[in-house]
Chains A and B, each alone.
Chain A
Amino acid sequence: MGVAPFAVTHEPLRVDDLMLAVGGPVEGGRPLVGAVTMFLGLVRGENLGRRVVRLEYESYEPLAVKVFERIAAEVREHWSGSRLALHHRLGALGVGEASVAIAAAAPHRAEAFAACRYAIERVKQIAPIWKKEFFEDGHTWIEGALADPDDRGAREDAYRRACA
Chain B
Amino acid sequence: MRVTVRLFARLRDIVGAARLTRELPEDATARLLWNTLAEEHAGLVAYRDAVSIAVNAEYSKMNRRLADGDEVAFLPPVSGG
Residues of chain A at the chain B interface (Cβ within 8 Å): 41, 57-60, 62-64, 66, 88, 99-100, 120, 123-132, 141-150
B10 at the interface (CB under 8 A from A): yes
Minimal beta-carbon separation of A116 from chain B (angstroms): 13
Minimal beta-carbon separation of B79 from chain A (angstroms): 4
Contacting residues of chain B (65-81) with chain A, CB-CB under 8 angstroms: 73, 75-81
Give bound CA distance, A150 to B58, whole Å: 12
A60 lies within 8 A of B73 (CB): yes
Minimal beta-carbon separation of A2 from chain B (angstroms): 23
Instruction: List 25 interface pairs A-B (beta carbons < 8 Å), by A numbering.
Output: A59-B8, A59-B80, A60-B57, A60-B73, A63-B59, A99-B81, A120-B81, A123-B80, A123-B81, A124-B79, A127-B78, A128-B73, A128-B75, A128-B78, A129-B79, A129-B80, A131-B79, A141-B10, A141-B79, A143-B9, A143-B50, A143-B78, A145-B78, A146-B77, A148-B59
Residues of chain B at the chain A interface (Cβ within 8 Å): 6, 8-10, 13, 50-52, 54, 57-59, 73, 75-81
Name 16 extra pairs, CB < 8 A, besides A143-B10, A144-B79. A60-B6, A63-B57, A63-B58, A124-B78, A124-B81, A125-B78, A127-B78, A129-B79, A129-B81, A141-B10, A142-B79, A143-B77, A145-B77, A146-B51, A147-B52, A147-B78
Chain A interface mostly helix, strand, loop or mixed? mixed
Give bound CA distance, A145 to B50, whole Å: 9
From B9, B50, B54, give the contact of A141 (CB < 8 A). Answer: B9
Assess A58 versus B9: contact at CB under 8 Å? Given A66-B57, A66-B58, A128-B54. yes
- Chain A residues lying within 8 Å of B80, measured Cβ to Cβ, are 57, 59, 64, 88, 99-100, 123-124, 127-131
- Chain B residues lying within 8 Å of A99, measured Cβ to Cβ, are 80-81
- Chain A residues lying within 8 Å of B75, measured Cβ to Cβ, are 60, 128, 147
- Chain B residues lying within 8 Å of A142, measured Cβ to Cβ, are 79
B81 lies within 8 A of A130 (CB): no
Give bound CA distance, A129 to B52, whole Å: 12
